Chains A and B, each alone.
Chain A
Amino acid sequence: MNLSFPGQKQKPVSPSDEDRRSEFLTSEEIQREASGDEAVPVRTRRSAPDSQCGLRSVLLQVRDLGLGYDSDETVLFKYCGGSCPRARSNYDLTLSNLLLSGRLPQPAPGEPWHSVPCCRPTHYEDMAFLDNSHRWHKVEKLSAAACSCAD
């Protein structure tokens, strides 16, 4: 499910890997390992240019997720990243114009007003693993399953 708007020329982005067998990653997707660098980005989209909004993934140990779990299992954390095209609607155009011209008060730092769509997940995936005390855990909505430029 991707968000789209009438009159919208921009094609909603979607991952091309939904039907892929992810056990066979292409050469550009095989984990690149820098020395001493554990977490390395792995691209899962083959055709999109690097900067566009899309699904990306990184192979990590569960403990590196920063959620407090103690497990030696490694998981493929999928996230949405990349840029979305600038103005998509009249709202966006107007808002950015008014912010630039000073007609609107500037937002406080840390509370930005988005005048561009951002790359966000449209679906999430759960993840289960066994921790080092041999207890099973399931983390809901851990990874992104699909991305789109959301308003």
Chain B
Amino acid sequence: LKCPTRPEPRVPHAVLSAGGRDCLHAGDTCSSDDTCSPRLRTLRQCVAGDGSMKLGPGARSQCENAMTALLSTPLHGCQCKRGMKREKNCLSIYWSLHQSVLHVNRCLDAAKACNIDETCQKLRTEYVSACIQPSARSGPCNRPKCNKALRKFFDRVPPDYTHELLFCPCTDTACAERRRQTIVPSCSYEEKDKPNCLAQLRDCKQDYVCRSRWAQFQYDCEASEHSASGCKRENHGSCLLAYTGLIGSTITPNYLDNSTSNVGPWCSCAASGNHREQCNDFLAFFHDNICLILHVPTPFQVPPLWCPAAIQFSFILICLLLLH
């Protein structure tokens, strides 16, 4: 039973639809360019050896500048295909770009990359603008307007950028706080009181869009202890995508603090009556889920598989008919 590949998200991104940028190809393009080539050479010198080379202050800033400059080239966000020709060469380029010694604050790097891209910068400014604008009528901000702009951002900007912004790995508080602030939580997330989670979920299901997003999230982030990725659908990227689909909805999730990567919606299980366990299960789906590991994926791009239940059932029916 082979599932058809997922239709391309309706994001006008020529590069994504071409199957993603290949680091080898991007590296060749860069090496044959007068301005890009020295940057790449600088970077490779910076990460020479096993990456444990200590960088003096002058060298470090040169390395960081080379890294920032390369953000606006095809090398940014490039990937490698498992088993491809010259896989090792491709990966050496990939890891040069992702050497942790140069990434002091991955979330800041993500913001810089976003600011260079026209669409990302424009839509990020739009949602921030909507979310920080005080509202005469509805208190500190216009929450529906903020949510709408957030949904637009996560729907239209390629995951290359949005996932880096939201799922950047952090080793210190400054980075983690920046990450927590990504969705302007003071407007889109926090409220005076925390509603009961099940009541919040019920409200979500009243709205067709929220209901679908929740269903998609449950599907794509279903955990499985028997799979290597921890995900039943074996597609971590799809789970992250489904998570971002919840942002700007009634059950918007966010990082709960700036020291861990625990996430969850703004709700509590107090006053759950006899449904306490059901309520706890809902919250656990966010913070006890081995599939929902919030960091950006590895060099290998797994093409998303999309098997809507209808197609699975029709295959089963055909099989049954043939057996008869």
Which A residues have a C-beta under 8 Å from some C-beta of B? Answer: 17, 20-25, 27-28, 30-33, 59, 72-76, 125-130, 134, 136-138
Contacts and interface: CB of A to CB of B under 8 A. Distances in A.
A62 to B, nearest CB: 9
Which of B34, B35, B122 has the most chain A CB within a 10 Å cutoff? B35
A30 B72 contact: yes
A73 B112 contact: yes
A30 B177 CA distance: 31
Given A25-B73, A27-B34, A30-B36, 4 more contacts: A24-B74, A27-B35, A73-B112, A74-B112
10 contacts: A23-B118, A24-B74, A73-B108, A73-B115, A74-B116, A128-B125, A128-B129, A130-B181, A134-B181, A136-B184
A138 B125 contact: yes
Interface string B119-153: 00110110011011000000000000000000000
A23 B121 CA distance: 11
A27 B122 CA distance: 24
Given A27-B34, A73-B108, A134 B118 contact: no
Interface of B: 13-15, 33-36, 39, 65-66, 68-69, 72-74, 76, 105, 108, 111-112, 115-118, 121-122, 124-125, 128-129, 131-132, 177-178, 181, 184
A32 B35 contact: yes
B31 to A, nearest CB: 11
Contact of A27 (B13, B33, B76, B131): B33
A31 B125 CA distance: 23
A21 B129 contact: no
Contacts of A74: 68, 112, 115-116
B69 A136 contact: no
Contacts of B68: 59, 74
B33 A138 contact: no
Contacts of A22: 72, 116-118
Given A27-B34, A30-B33, A136-B132, A21 B118 contact: yes
A127 B125 contact: yes
A138 B132 contact: yes
B179 to A, nearest CB: 10
Nearest to B120: A23
Q: Which 6 A-B pairs have the closest CB atoms?
A: A128-B128, A128-B125, A27-B33, A30-B35, A22-B118, A23-B117
Given A23-B72, A23-B116, A74-B112, A126 B129 contact: yes
A30 to B, nearest CB: 4
Contacts of A138: 125, 128-129, 132
Contacts of A127: 115, 121, 125
Nearest to A128: B128
B65 A33 contact: yes
Contact of B118 (A20, A27, A31, A137): A20
Contacts of B69: 30-31, 33
Contacts of B177: 134
Which of B15, B105, B111 has the most chain A CB within a 10 Å cutoff? B111
A22 B116 CA distance: 7
A23 to B, nearest CB: 5
Contacts of A28: 35
A23 B71 CA distance: 8
Given A33-B39, A136-B181, A138-B132, A129 B117 contact: no
Contacts of A20: 118
